Structure 1
Amino acid sequence: MGMTCTSDRPARHRRAVVFACDEGYLPYALFAISRIAALHPERDFDICLCTGVLPVEIPASLAHLDIRLCRVDVGDMFDGLRLDPGRSPDVYLRLALPQALGVDYDRILYLDSDIHVQGGDFSALLSVDLGGRPLGAVRDNTQWRTPSRRPAQFRVLGLPAARYFNAGVLLMDVPRYLEADLLARCVALGRAEAGRMIRHDQNLYNAVLQGDWAELSPAWNWQYTWASRFFEAMQTAHVVHFIGKRKPWKDAEGELPPRFAREMGTFLARHWPDRPPVPIGLGPAHDARLMRKHLLKHLVAAPAMARYLAQFPDDLTVRA
């Protein structure tokens, strides 16, 4: 079965910010969308929400966000790829976005749903020159301070060290992406190496491209960890990305700053009043041991982190 894409309305622009999620992550995607829409009240790009097999329903109270709802059916395209227990093939959906939406868009900015949007000119980001590369992305945080580190997946596959990106924010040059046949190449590698793949499409992208991608400022994908949170306050990241299991809505120990849960909780209470409230912890400032751990890690990492950040004199710098 071939890929099909249906939508609730035609595209209005040639560029789009795109989220792909299921019902479980829908509230968090809509929270991020609401913040992008507030930054761009007269935007020159579409905001799309893509789903896979199962449709989602956007609350009527959020109709003003003017979201284009798209359903992408990839058929059996992702059969044979590695899947974590309890996950569906929809975890690979972003691989197919340029093919599914390529008739409508020349540029796609894909964003994960577990993010906190704080600012930034998304229209300007959609226009940056990627130097002929099919993708623009932010280096994975494992290489921020040690850029020569060989990713674990590369070691498993016998690949040499190369730049490795986090796939939570991807700027896609659609014609170049299609010309490079990235979807087919990633699927072919994923099937051939299913038994040796560690993650999902992030590793497929990186193994296929082997560093042939344009590097964006970490302001657009600040991967929030216990070793990077203080640097984020100095950098003023536009997009904070909660990698790992700890999220603003799932932070039982209260290790994240409470502002994230507070802002998201206010949004969810307004548009999903029947949901349990988001718990708001005290945050790490009330745990002296945790604060010392963070401070020592940041102190040691400061020189390498400064070298990394110096490569991006502004938020629209692209290192191709």
Structure 2
Amino acid sequence: MTTTTLTATQAPVTDAAALTGKRRIAFASYVDENYLPGFLVLLRSLALSNPTVCEDFVVLYDDLRPGSIAKIRALHPRIVLKRVNDTHYDAYKKGDQDNYLVRKAYFILDVFRLREYDTVITLDTDMVVLGDLGELLKLREGLAAVPQFFYGQHKLNSGLLVIQREYLSEEFCAKLDATGRSGDYELDKHDQGILNAVLDGDFVRLDPRYNFVKRRLSGDLPVPEDTAILHFTGRHKPWQGGESGYSLAEEKWREYELSDADFHAEYLGKSGGLHHDLIVHYGTPHVARTGDVETARKVAAAHIASGDYQDAVDILESVRIPLDEAWPHEVLGHALMSVSRTAEAKAQLLLATAAPNRAATAYARLAQMSWVQGDNAAALKYATAGMSVDITHRSSRLWAQRATSVPAQELGAPEDQLAHVAFYMDRQGNAGDKLLPESVRSAFGPDTGSRRWHPVHAHRLFDEAALERVNARRGMVIGGGGLFIPDTMPNGNSAWQWNVPDELMRRIDVPIAVYAVGFNAFDGQSYRASRFRDSLRLLVEKSAFFGLRNHGSIEKVRAMVPAHLHDKIRFQPCPTTVTRQLVPGWQDPARREDTILINAAYDRAGLRFGHDYGYFLAQMAQAVRELGELAEVQCVAHSLDDEKLVFDLRREHGVSMPVIPMYDFENDEIRDLYARTKLVIGMRGHAGMIPFGCGTPIISLISHPKMAYFLHDIDRPEWGISVHDRHLAARLVERSKDLLRDHAATVADVHGRQQELWKITEANAADLRVLLGG
């Protein structure tokens, strides 16, 4: 048997962050024991004034005690401690070499030695955050600061800096060191003097409200309403007694001088959106302290949103939920269902149906759970009840449709069939997922129907009856998308999409072929439970063939299983990428339409875009206008949510384009449309792989590592552009022009790349014929 693996000469696929280009943002402060009270107030004010923001907070320090570090960590879940290289600054010329405060004033310059981030926002510890910092998080160019109050626009105040990656470099650090050691700067201005000497006025000017120094308020003037950051410059700090003439300013500071209990309560009581990491960090001790059910519900919902289902169960089980509190019962039912504690989940969800505002959702979850258990009658009953409460309830309607769908009649004898575990997408579901099961089957022969195949829906519980049916077949194929993802349809049996208990997997006695499955976790998403690793290891051990659809997935899975299993894991491209080779009688189009198709994806938008969605939208508006000069630009929607791009472009930028509802297409229509266009610009994995398989040039808008994995495998990384790229529109238009300039040559290149994938597919097919017959 041949095995296709990474060779010694192949470079490993880079980490997810590098592939997606997603900006890594951090706040940073230098903190010592003297300024600790100010820093604790700063952290509280940041959370309360910007409750949806939670980025890394780098604490530069030299002498903090363990107890002080514990206080800091209690106020923020993403503290990154960095000890400063204090002796590095001993060589700097200073106005007063013996004053320890002067010496420490330079330590904040260590921030320029950070290499892990794309944007760093520094905050002095004598600041308090009063307003929204969203505009600072969106900055992408230069080094930004507020000009000094007394000295005009040429010099900056270094209390707040927004530093981009080009300044977080050895080159810039060398300039700082040279200036510091020469003493060619305002010695009495310390770090600020060095920065002004190096920059010489070359910085991005911010509005004074982002670093509003207290000297502007002399004479007890009130703090302006639009102040975002108030800076207590000068010798007298609020935690040291303050200074006369600034009482109104100091009152603002003291609003955030709170006990942990009061701080937690104030944050958790805020209306509107809260960041799930902060909800968990502040809510968990609050629940332990108070037993508050509503807070426990919020914390559990935050855990569910991040895929920590057992943690959600644990916190809600730690409190007593009154019978008439429907929402906590519903959330607990959701969490229990996600770890496959179905009987307990049913009891909780039935309690939740008593409240009209939660009933439809609770009934839909009951319908889902019944369908997963294989009870279509109960699923239909609950889904119908959900629609009776809310006729527009989309989830209840979906489960009603699934419960009443009639499976295709199986025409073949079991011993002639292969069982096929896949995610079988519903009508109006994701077009790529709809096409996948047929594409996988086509890799095993032209007959993709029920004569040769027995379907096993990955999301339904694999029980004794399912085991018996599978073992009556001649083999099992597992394939059809990124099945290794923790949250599409969570379960406690495997913790990935196939809902199979280990005991039943062990009793499968026909050959198992894992075919072109992908590791689909987003950048920022991970498998935290050991359940997934254990299930994955067993699957690799049981499989006669284990093929993953890109080398990025291979690296991820190999890292999760013992070394002796690594050689079993091989490369098997997604069959959609070789569509031209697999569809019987395929004919390339005689002519192509003068169109460019664009696809955008909005599932898990926070993981895709971070703080950059507004930027992405503006860049796409510019790109669509310019691409319209090359061909007609149309939006191709793989799912209903993909149409958001068109709505947002029209509303925000006045740019319109027609929408193609591919979610309503049959498989042949999907392939035909992608084969007849000139170029596809797609954000979904299969908005790249399907048109590529049809012989059409592609550009990938990368917001997920799998897009880059595929381009890495075909040795065309230049066909991908990060949605965070600083020059997204210009590069997208430039690359589109390059691919369209000699379209025939570009199509030939696509065919050549595809041929390499086909060779691997054919080699694997020879092994599979031996394993499975046929």
For residues 209 and 231 of structure 1, do their structure 2 counterparts lie closer, same or farther at Cα, with a shift above 3 Å needed? farther
For residues 230 and 213 of structure 1, do their structure 2 counterparts lie closer, same or farther at Cα, with a shift above 3 Å needed? farther
Bigger drift between 66-75 and 252-261 goes to 252-261
For residues 187 and 53 of structure 1, do their structure 2 counterparts lie closer, same or farther at Cα, with a shift above 3 Å needed? farther
Question: 2:30 — aligned with what?
Answer: 20
Return the match for 2:69 from 58, 68, 72.
58
Q: CA deviation at 1:115?
A: 1.2
Q: CA deviation at 1:74?
A: 1.5
Question: 1:114 — aligned with what?
Answer: 126
> Is the CA contact 1:219–1:236 (under 8 Å) kept in the aligned structure 2?
yes
For residues 267 and 195 of structure 1, do their structure 2 counterparts lie closer, same or farther at Cα, with a shift above 3 Å needed? closer
Question: 2:110 — aligned with what?
Answer: 96
Q: CA deviation at 1:136?
A: 0.5
Question: 2:208 — aligned with what?
Answer: 218
Q: CA deviation at 1:111?
A: 0.3
Distance in 1 (CA, whole Å) between partners of 2:249 and 2:213 is 17
> Is the CA contact 1:219–1:237 (under 8 Å) kept in the aligned structure 2?
yes
| Deviation per residue, 1:53-76 (Å, 9 max, x gap) | 555523459625214141223153
Matches within 5 A, 1:293-308: none
Distance in 1 (CA, whole Å) between partners of 2:221 and 2:71 is 38
Q: CA deviation at 1:128?
A: 1.6
Whether 1:169 and 2:160 are equivalent positions in the alignment is: yes
> Is the CA contact 2:186–2:193 (under 8 Å) kept in the aligned structure 1?
no
> Is the CA contact 2:49–2:129 (under 8 Å) kept in the aligned structure 1?
no
Distance in 2 (CA, whole Å) between partners of 1:244 and 1:97 is 22
> Is the CA contact 2:128–2:230 (under 8 Å) kept in the aligned structure 1?
yes
Question: 2:135 — aligned with what?
Answer: 124
Distance in 1 (CA, whole Å) between partners of 2:85 and 2:64 is 12
SS at match of 1:168: strand
Question: 1:139 — aligned with what?
Answer: 147
Matches within 5 A, 1:279-298: none
Whether 1:80 and 2:91 are equivalent positions in the alignment is: yes
| Deviation per residue, 1:115-173 (Å, 9 max, x gap) | 121111x243122243xx2x1000000135xx5xxxxxxxxxxxxxxx10100001010
Distance in 1 (CA, whole Å) between partners of 2:156 and 2:101 is 22
Return the match for 2:183 from 190, 193, 196.
193
Q: CA deviation at 1:250?
A: 3.4
SS at match of 2:87: coil
> Is the CA contact 1:190–1:197 (under 8 Å) kept in the aligned structure 2?
no
Return the match for 1:204 from 194, 197, 200.
194
Question: 2:6 — aligned with what?
Answer: none
Q: Which runs of 5+ in 1 are unaligned?
A: 1-11, 148-162, 272-320
For residues 72 and 194 of structure 1, do their structure 2 counterparts lie closer, same or farther at Cα, with a shift above 3 Å needed? farther
Structure with the larger helix share: 2
Q: Which has the higher contact order (CA 8 A, sep 6+)?
A: 1
Return the match for 1:33 from 43, 46, 50.
43
Q: CA deviation at 1:230?
A: 7.5
SS at match of 1:141: coil
Distance in 2 (CA, whole Å) between partners of 1:58 and 1:179 is 28
Matches within 5 A, 1:254-269: 254-258=244-248, 260-261=250-251, 263-264=253-254, 267=257
SS at match of 1:38: helix
SS at match of 1:17: strand
For residues 105 and 123 of structure 1, do their structure 2 counterparts lie closer, same or farther at Cα, with a shift above 3 Å needed? farther
Question: 2:231 — aligned with what?
Answer: 241
TM-score by length of 1: 0.64
Distance in 2 (CA, whole Å) between partners of 1:116 and 1:31 is 7
SS at match of 2:29: strand
Q: CA deviation at 1:192?
A: 1.2
For residues 228 and 211 of structure 1, do their structure 2 counterparts lie closer, same or farther at Cα, with a shift above 3 Å needed? farther
- The amino acid that maps onto 2:149 is N
> Is the CA contact 2:61–2:83 (under 8 Å) kept in the aligned structure 1?
yes
Q: CA deviation at 1:29?
A: 0.7
Identity of aligned residues (%): 26
SS at match of 2:239: coil
> Is the CA contact 2:221–2:246 (under 8 Å) kept in the aligned structure 1?
no
For residues 238 and 143 of structure 1, do their structure 2 counterparts lie closer, same or farther at Cα, with a shift above 3 Å needed? same
Distance in 1 (CA, whole Å) between partners of 2:245 and 2:70 is 31
> Is the CA contact 2:179–2:194 (under 8 Å) kept in the aligned structure 1?
yes
| Deviation per residue, 1:58-116 (Å, 9 max, x gap) | 345962521414122315321222164133643212212131x21x2110000001112
